Structure 1
C-alpha cells in the first residue's frame, strides 16, 4: 500500500526554535538507536516511522553505528527515503553523527577530519541522501585538536553535505570552546545532544543549558526515559523480552529494589498528573524553555503515541517539582 502522510500531521505537535537559528524541531523526535537494525521487523519499523510523521515528528535522528549491526539503521532509513518518505524529504529533518567506533583501524572512530568526512560520505550512501540536515561530532576527542574536529564540521557544511552542525556528549567547557572555534570559522554550531533524564542530571551540575544559551545553541536530549526504566515496564519485575537480558547498555544491577522503589514513587506522582510515568519523564526534561526536543526510542507504535501525548501537559507546579526531586536522584543508574 502506498503511504500518504496524514493531512493533520502538523495540528498537534509543538515545534521549538533551535537556539538562535531559523530551524524548528518537534518537541518529540524519533531516534533510531535501537530497534531499527537487521533484527527488527521491516513492517514494524515502517509503521513506527509512518505514525511518527503522521503525529508531526519531522525529525529522525541516526548515527553511523546505529543498528544493530552498525550502519543498518541508516540502511533501513534509506529505504524509507527512497520509498515512503521520498515525496516528503523537504518536510523532514534527518540527522546523523560520527565519533564512536565504526570500522577497524586507526581511522574508524573519534574526531579526526579523515574519519568525520569519510563517515558522513558512508552515511549518505546508506541513507540514499545528498545531504543531512544536521551532522554531529558524536563525542569529544581529547587526542585530536578541537580545531580539527570543528574545522571538519565547517568543511562539511560548506560542501553542502550537511545544512547544520552540532555536537554530542561534550561538557559545558568543551561546548564553549567548540562554539567559539565554529563561530570564528563562520559555521556556528546550532545544537548539542546530551544525555539527560530524571536519573542522570549531569547537565544541571555542569550548567550546560546556561552555556548553550550563551552560545545561541539548542539542546536535544537522548535517553530521557533511560531505556524504559522511567516507565511502567519494570515496576512488576523484569520482563523476559527486556533489553536488560541482552544489552550491555542497561544492566540488571540498575534495577535494584531501592532504585525501583524511587521509580514507583515517581509513577505515583505521574498518576496524580494524569500521565504515565514515561509522559511525565518527557514533560520533565522539556520543562525548561531552552530545551528544544526530547529524543525517544520505540519498539512499537503505541510508545510513540504515548510520548506525543506527553505534550498535552508540560506544566509543573512547584510542589510537583519538589516531590519529583525527592526521588529523581542523579546517578541512580551508576553501578
Structure 2
C-alpha cells in the first residue's frame, strides 16, 4: 500500500526554534534508541515512524549504535524512508551520532576525527542518505582534544554531510568551550542533547544558563526516565517490562518503593490536570520554553499519540509546580 502523508500533519504540533538558529523542531521528537532494530518487527517500526510524521513529528533521532544489533535502527529507518517517506525528505530533520562503541580497535568509539567522520559515512550508507540534518558528538572524550572533536563536526557541516552540529551529555563547562571553538570555526553549536527529566534535573545547575548564553537549543532524552514516569511501574514491576529482564538500561533495582510512591503522587497531580503521568512529565520538561524538544521512545503507535497529546496542556500554576517539587524532594532530607 502506497503511503501518503496526512494533509493535517502540521495542524496540531508545536514547533520551537533551536536556540538562536533558524532550525525549528517539533516539541515532541521520536527517538529510535529501542524497538526499531533488526530484532524488532519491521511493520511495527514502520507504522510508528509514519504515524509520527502524520501527527507532526518531523524530527527522527538516531545514532550509529542504535538497534540492536548496532546499526540496524539506521537500516530500518533508511528502509522506511525509501519505501514511504522519500518524497518528504525536505520536511524531515534526521539526526545521528557517533562516540559510543561501534567497531573494534582504537578508532571504533570516542571523539577522534577518525571515529566521527568514519562513523558518519557509515551512517549515511545505512540510511541511504546524502546528508543528515544534525550530527552529534555523542559523548565528551577526555583523551581527545576538544578542538579535534569540534573540527570534525565543523568539517561534517562544511562538507555537506550534515547541516547542523550538536553535542550530547557534555557538562556546562565542556559545552561552553565546545560552543566557543565552533563559533571560531564558523559553525555554530545548534543543539545539545542531555538526559533530563523530573527525576534527573542536572541541567538546571548551570547547563541551561550556558545554552542560553551561547544560543544553543536543547532536546532532552529520557524525559520519561525510561518508563519510571509512566503508568507502567505505578504498582511495581510487571513481568513483561524491560526492568524485569536483563536490560542494561533500566534495572529492577532502580524501581524502589520510594520511586513508586513518588510516581503515584505525581500521577495524582496528572489526573487532576486531565493528563496521564507520561503527559505530565513531558509537559513539565517543556515548561517555561527552555527546552526545544522532548525526545520520546515508543514500542507502539498508541504511546506516541498519548505523548503528543501532552502538548494540549503545557501550562502549570505555581501551586502545581510547588507540589511537584515537594513530591520529588520527599525523603531527601531524612
TM-score, structure 1 normalization: 0.97
Query: For residues 329 and 10 of structure 1, what CA distance do their matches in structure 2 show?
Result: 38
2:31–2:61 CA contact under 8 A, matched in 1? yes
SS class of match (2:327) = coil
| Partner of residue 216, structure 1 | 215
Shift of 1:288: 2.5
| Partner of residue 191, structure 2 | 191
Considering only aligned residues, what root-mean-square deviation do their CA atoms show, in Å? Answer: 1.2
Query: For residues 299 and 285 of structure 2, what CA distance do their matches in structure 1 show?
Result: 21
2:48–2:301 CA contact under 8 A, matched in 1? yes
SS class of match (2:96) = strand
Unmatched 5+ residue regions in structure 1?
Answer: none
Residues 1:201 and 2:175 are matched in the alignment: no
| Partner of residue 108, structure 1 | 108
| Partner of residue 271, structure 1 | 271
TM-score, structure 2 normalization: 0.97
Deviations for 1:82-137, whole angstroms, at most 9, x for unmatched residues?
11011100000000000100001100000000000000000000000000000000
1:221–1:295 CA contact under 8 A, matched in 2? yes
SS class of match (1:3) = coil
Question: Where do 1:311-326 residues align within 5 Å?
Answer: 311-326=311-326
| Partner of residue 5, structure 2 | 5
SS class of match (1:328) = helix
| Partner of residue 125, structure 2 | 125
2:19–2:217 CA contact under 8 A, matched in 1? yes
| Partner of residue 142, structure 2 | 142
Query: For residues 288 and 30 of structure 2, what CA distance do their matches in structure 1 show?
Result: 20
Deviations for 1:52-72, whole angstroms, at most 9, x for unmatched residues?
000000000000000011100
Moved over 3 A (4+): 329-332
| Partner of residue 231, structure 1 | 230
1:200–1:330 CA contact under 8 A, matched in 2? no
Question: Where do 1:175-186 residues align within 5 Å?
Answer: 175-186=175-186
Shift of 1:329: 4.5
SS class of match (2:106) = coil
Larger relative contact order (C-alpha < 8 A, sep ≥ 6)? 1
Query: For residues 224 and 61 of structure 1, what CA distance do their matches in structure 2 show?
Result: 14
| Partner of residue 164, structure 1 | 164
| Partner of residue 257, structure 2 | 257
Aligned residues: 331
Deviations for 1:202-238, whole angstroms, at most 9, x for unmatched residues?
1112x21110011010000000001111011011222
2:236–2:260 CA contact under 8 A, matched in 1? no
Shift of 1:327: 2.1
Shift of 1:247: 0.6
2:30–2:295 CA contact under 8 A, matched in 1? yes
2:283–2:311 CA contact under 8 A, matched in 1? yes
Query: For residues 51 and 330 of structure 2, what CA distance do their matches in structure 1 show?
Result: 33
Shift of 1:330: 10
